[in-house]
Amino acid sequence: MKSSQFFISTLKEAPADAEIVSHKLMLRAGFIKRLGAGIYNYMPMGLRVIRKVEAIIREEMNRAGAVELLMPVVQPAELWQETGRFDKMGPELLRVKDRHERDFIIQPTSEEVVTDIARQELRSYKQLPKNFYHIQTKFRDERRPRFGVMRGREFTMKDAYSFDRDVASAGKSYDTMYAAYCAVFDRLGLQYRAVAADTGAIGGDRSHEFQVIAETGEDAIVYCPTSSYAANIELAESVPLIAQRVAPAQGLEKTPTPGKSTCEDVAALLNLPLQRTVKSLVLATEERNEAGDITKVTVWLLLVRGDHALNEVKAGKLVGLKGGYRFATVAEIEEHFGCKPGYLGPIGLKKPVKVIADRTVANMSDFVCGANEADFHFTGVNWGRDLPEPDEVADIRNAQAGDPSPDGQGVLAIQRGIEVGHVFYLGTKYSKAMNATFLDEGGKPQFFEMGCYGIGVTRILGAAIEQSHDERGIVWPDSIAPFTVVICPIGYDRSAEVKAAADQLHDQLQAQGVDVMLDDRGERPGAMFADWELIGVPHRVVLSDRGLKEGTVEYQGRRDAAATKVAVAEVLAHLQ
Ligand code: ATP
Ligand code: MG
Ligand code: MG
Ligand code: MG
């Protein structure tokens, strides 16, 4: 490739609204161009990197046995209504109408469409397991689009969806994807960490995020350098944290509140000040003796911070909100969490961690609770009682570096990270909602066990640059650099020798399949070098009359402090 045939557009200064280094450098190097908030043109130089990232992902996905297809960006609302996400998802979901006033959405992911494909196409257990993926444009109307491609509204994601016959097989599919993700991020040359992540309303311990370590990351991760413990700090805010057991003997009273179901109702009825935290959801379960008396009450506190859980709350699914709380029935809990209320332990973590609730909640007293029974409520619940012993406790959200790790294997460290990938076991959430079944050996219909697996293709560019840059610009790993080698001839337009040597080297490298760029723009050396250093090409070869006379060219790696002379005859070998 020659520069004159390509498109290069660099800037000395980044626009003032670019806050972090990757955003600045991508704008300056001409990789992206802003069109609107969170919406970018991918310019030719940037698109080359995107295509290389995609190629690596595609290779590893195919190697792992996933099958590529392509699902539409614009999707009929009907499918999204089947799962309830059309209403539940809130303003992040972009809804549009066609000329017939029919509703559509611009896909933020594709669970509904892929499940629709599966229920039509995967009829027998013999066709399973199957994993479909695509690399496609996504739209999320993010509240705060920022940092360029890092949190765009329109962006590219690879999303894969696995369909299995049972939980064990789904676990294998998950493990396969987890391994494929490690292979992808290794090849991308990223320094990353896989951490336990929020499983939202799905539950289970199978959700991991792949976090690229970077100071500017929006996520915080806690991990233990001497064990395998690693979690998104958000996790502690979003999964059911703890059970605090409150015995009736400690002042809990079951109070009849006929016809009233929210805490607000009850508080008003009893003329109690209502203390609440918007992000909390409380469940209470009870045990009774044969005579029907309550012998034990367990109050479960769930802090719901994850999008999934909050949306459940907003949809009034688990709690009839309107400022107050209603408690889920046992059936509701079972349906949404796939486990009995009594087992609502800290899900989402490999090893159970006891975490004390939010301090403000922990200090609440005389809380009003539901009783899993119509027309009754508990009053006098006191969160401050019966807290676990301090050595059993690890408050992850308030975790400090040096605190003991919840697995007891060492101490915690904290880093900031950028979420570039996410693997998630879905269970039968979507297959049940959409009645997606296959026939088992006995000819009986069974719901698919599903998993979903996302990689933020365009976000990876930002993450890679955050990790690898210097004062001169980007330093791409070879695997995703827009060009691997740049040839910078000095006097290409003046010297026949330089032109001939540069063209020959270019042709040879190209013939060998090396991604080579020859800068034939006739720029001054300083400007030419500055451009390619900004763009971040890993290898540079400079040809000049003076060098050629003594049979040498100058080679400089992007991280090298100075150039080295290499014999013309050895350049090719040197670049291998
Ligand atoms: P975040 O927590 O950053 O909002 P998410 O958890 O909502 O991300 P997922 O639904 O897990 O994102 O989507 C899979 C991947 O898509 C993410 O791991 C991330 O790399 C990428 N991604 C998500 N939102 C964006 C965005 N607004 N811009 C660019 N990439 C994104
Ligand atoms: Mg998000
Ligand atoms: Mg996330
Ligand atoms: Mg995620």
pLDDT of residue 472: 97
Give distance in angstroms: CA of 419 to centre of ligand 3. Answer: 6
pLDDT of residue 146: 92
Atom index in ligand 1 nearest the CA of residue 460 equals: 20
Instruction: Determine the Cα–Cα distance for residues 80 and 430; give it in Å rounded to an integer.
Output: 10
Residue of the nearest CA to atom 1 in ligand 1?
419
- Residue 308 pLDDT > 90: no
pLDDT of residue 391: 31
Q: Are 357 and 303 in contact (CB under 8 A)?
A: yes
pLDDT of residue 335: 55
pLDDT of residue 144: 87
Secondary structure string (H, E, C) spanning 105-116: EECCCCHHHHHH
Q: Higher model confidence: residue 273 or residue 422? A: 422
Chain-centroid distance, C-alpha 177: 14
**Residue 141 in contact with ligand 1 by CB distance below 6 A:** no
Give distance in angstroms: CA of 528 to centre of ligand 3. Answer: 40
Ligand nearest to the CA of 145: 1
- Please choose, from the candidates 124, 94, 217, the residue with its C-alpha nearest in 3D space to the C-alpha of residue 446: 124
At residue 271 the predicted structure's pLDDT band, cuts being 50, 70 and 90, is low
- What's the whole-number mean pLDDT along residues 365-382? 52
Indicate the SS3 state at residue 95: strand
Give distance in angstroms: CA of 255 to centre of ligand 3. Answer: 41
Q: Higher model confidence: residue 194 or residue 328? A: 194
- Residue 361 pLDDT > 80: no
- What's the whole-number mean pLDDT along residues 129-146? 95
Residue of the nearest CA to atom 31 in ligand 1?
456
**Residue 422 in contact with ligand 1 by CB distance below 6 A:** yes
- What's the whole-number mean pLDDT along residues 377-402? 46
pLDDT of residue 205: 63
Instruction: Determine the Cα–Cα distance for residues 142 and 150; give it in Å rounded to an integer.
Output: 12
**Residue 158 in contact with ligand 1 by CB distance below 6 A:** no
Q: Are 46 and 32 in contact (CB under 8 A)?
A: yes
Runs of H (alpha helix) within 224-287: 235-238, 263-270
- Residue 221 pLDDT > 80: yes
Tokens representing 520? Answer: 């034939």
Ligand nearest to the CA of 153: 1
Atom index in ligand 1 nearest the CA of residue 420 equals: 20
Give distance in angstroms: CA of 355 to centre of ligand 4. Answer: 22
**Residue 503 in contact with ligand 1 by CB distance below 6 A:** no
- What's the whole-number mean pLDDT along residues 373-398? 43
Instruction: Determine the Cα–Cα distance for residues 315 and 413; give it in Å rounded to an integer.
Output: 37
Residue of the nearest CA to atom 2 in ligand 1?
419
Chain-centroid distance, C-alpha 364: 34
pLDDT of residue 398: 55
- Residue 280 pLDDT > 60: no
Instruction: Please classify residue 6 by burial: count the beta carbons closer than 10 Å to its beta carbon, then call 0-12 exposed, 13-18 middle and 19+ buried.
Output: middle
- What's the whole-number mean pLDDT along residues 326-337? 46
pLDDT of residue 90: 84
Residue of the nearest CA to atom 27 in ligand 1?
151
Tokens representing 120? Answer: 């039509």
At residue 545 the predicted structure's pLDDT band, cuts being 50, 70 and 90, is very high
At residue 372 the predicted structure's pLDDT band, cuts being 50, 70 and 90, is very low
**Residue 53 in contact with ligand 1 by CB distance below 6 A:** no
**What is the residue-averaged pLDDT of the chain?**
79
pLDDT of residue 292: 64
Q: pLDDT for 222-250, tens place per residue?
A: 888 898 888 887 654 322 233 333 333 34
The sign of the torsion formed by the CA atoms of 92, 111, 132, 427 equals positive
pLDDT of residue 260: 58
- What's the whole-number mean pLDDT along residues 81-105? 94
- What's the whole-number mean pLDDT along residues 464-472? 97
Instruction: Determine the Cα–Cα distance for residues 313 and 310; give it in Å rounded to an integer.
Output: 5
Give distance in angstroms: CA of 60 to centre of ligand 2. Answer: 25
Q: pLDDT for 444-456, tens place per residue?
A: 999 999 999 999 9
Q: Which of 57, 423, 452, 459 to mutate to test the pocket of ligand 1 (most atoms within 8 A of CB)?
A: 459
Q: Residue 495: how many CA atoms within 13 Å on its side-chain side?
A: 16
- What's the whole-number mean pLDDT along residues 3-8? 96
pLDDT of residue 493: 93
pLDDT of residue 404: 72
Tokens representing 31? Answer: 């990789």
Strands (E), 214-279: 219-223, 230-232, 240-245, 253-256
Tokens representing 116? Answer: 């629709």
Instruction: Determine the Cα–Cα distance for residues 82 and 434; give it in Å rounded to an integer.
Output: 6
- The H or E element spanning position 179 is helix 167-187
- Residue 555 pLDDT > 80: yes
Looking at the chain, the whole-number percentage of residues with pLDDT higher than 70 is: 70
- Residue 321 pLDDT > 60: no
- What's the whole-number mean pLDDT along residues 359-383? 47
- What's the whole-number mean pLDDT along residues 120-138? 98
Q: Which of 178, 216, 310, 422 to mutate to test the pocket of ligand 1 (most atoms within 8 A of CB)?
A: 422
